[in-house]
Amino acid sequence: METRQRDLTPDLFEPAGTAAKDAEKISGPSVGFWKDSWIRLKKNKAAVVSLVVIVLLLVMAFILGPLISPYASNEQDLGRSYRDPTGGFWFGTDKFGRDMFVRVWEGTRVSLYIAFLAAALDIFLGVTYGAVSGLLGGKTDSVMQRAIEVLVGIPSLVVAILVMVVLDPGIITLSIAVGLTGWVTMARIVRGRVMQLKEQEFTLASLSLGAGKRRLLTKHLIPNALGPIIITVMFTVPSAIFYEAVLSFIGLGIQVPNASLGSLISDGAKEMRFHAYLLLVPAAVFSVLMLTFNVLGDGLRDALDPRMRK
């Protein structure tokens, strides 16, 4: 013990000589919320693969698909009816001799159009309604939430069918039918987030400096609720694709000669016994779209959730 005490000399307790300005420096680079979320998303291999697959499907549907094949989507030739998938017709042909390769990608494009329009309607109505309800609170919030409960009590598929029966079938009509009741989930999520944020210090500081309710929503509350909004949109897109497929399958969706994934699956189901490729190809694209958007949505939920940080 005495030997150890003699080894402890005063020079061992002198300051390390670090400058005061260096003492305040952070050892690592500053990482913001979005950059940190992107870093954690890249660690999720399933989400990254899903993102790549979605980009490839978008490129094929909107750019390359119609350019690769020399045939038009509605070009008919009964002399080449029901040709199996070959080098000349990669996805085969239907009973009218139309190239299924072009029609599948056209149907994918139409389904994505409808899904994105429905998601835009979801954002516009859901975010606006939920943010206003959460900010105002009190009796106004109570009345607005009772209205949402009434909409939730009505089956969304019934509302979509009624809209399709009343209005002329088309992309806009389908988007309205799909998005008419789908925005209520977004509204509830945004309302809860706004009610949580408006009690925090930065909101009170903004109000004390004279910020109005409109500025408070657009500059502070909604930007800080972007995480839940993005996640909800990622789950809205596959849900809209599914509803479009259901409506088209029962004959209330896209009408001939146009095509969507739902209408192609409906037509393929009638030919499944002898020409299974007419069903399998659009069903495979539909399944991949549903799977990748849901997996990417799960990955974004984990990446944007502050509670998942380590």
Give residue 222's pLDDT. Answer: 83
User: Cβ neighbours of residue 182 under 8 Å, at least 6 residues apart?
Assistant: 118, 121, 122, 156, 236, 239, 240, 243
Q: How far apart are the first and last CA of the chain?
A: 42
Mean pLDDT in residue range 84-104:
87
Whole-angstrom Cα distance, residue 293 to residue 310? 26
Confidence of residue 218 (pLDDT cuts 50, 70, 90): confident
Mean pLDDT in residue range 108-130:
89
Give residue 306's pLDDT. Answer: 58
Q: Is 257's pLDDT higher than 60? A: yes
Average pLDDT over the chain, rounded to an integer: 82
- Give the residue from 240, 244, 129 showing the smallest Cα distance to 186: 129
Give residue 37's pLDDT. Answer: 80
Higher pLDDT, 165 or 1: 165
CA distances from 60 to 69, 77, 97, 153, 242 (A): 11, 24, 22, 39, 20
Query: Over the stretch 130-175, which tens digit does the pLDDT of each residue have?
Result: 999 888 888 998 999 998 888 888 887 788 788 877 877 777 888 8
Query: Over the stretch 183-215, which tens digit does the pLDDT of each residue have?
Result: 888 899 999 888 888 888 877 787 777 777 788
Q: Is the peptide bond before 257 cis (omega within 30 degrees of 0)?
A: yes
Whole-angstrom Cα distance, residue 148 to residue 126? 10
Q: Is 234's pLDDT higher than 60? A: yes
Give residue 29's pLDDT. Answer: 59
pTM given for the model: 0.79
Q: Is 25's pLDDT higher than 60? A: no
Half-sphere exposure of 299 (CA within 13 A, CB side): 20
Q: Is 1's pLDDT higher than 80? A: no
Query: Over the stretch 262-297, which tens digit does the pLDDT of each residue have?
Result: 889 988 888 888 889 999 999 999 999 999 999 998
- Give the residue from 184, 173, 192, 177 showing the smallest Cα distance to 122: 184
Query: Over the stretch 54-84, which tens digit does the pLDDT of each residue have?
Result: 999 999 999 888 788 888 888 888 888 888 8
Q: How far is CA 20 from the centre of its chain?
A: 48
Q: What percent of the chain has pLDDT over 90?
A: 16
Give residue 6's pLDDT. Answer: 57
Q: What is the DSSP string of 38-105?
A: HHHHHT-HHHHHHHHHHHHHHHIIIIIHHHHSSS-TT---GGGTTPPS-SSSTT-B-TT--BHHHHHH
- The highest-level CATH class for domain 43-67+100-308 is mainly alpha
Give residue 27's pLDDT. Answer: 54
What is the domain partition of the chain in residue ranges? Answer: 43-67+100-308
Confidence of residue 31 (pLDDT cuts 50, 70, 90): low
3-state DSSP assignment of residue 137:
coil
Give residue 284's pLDDT. Answer: 94
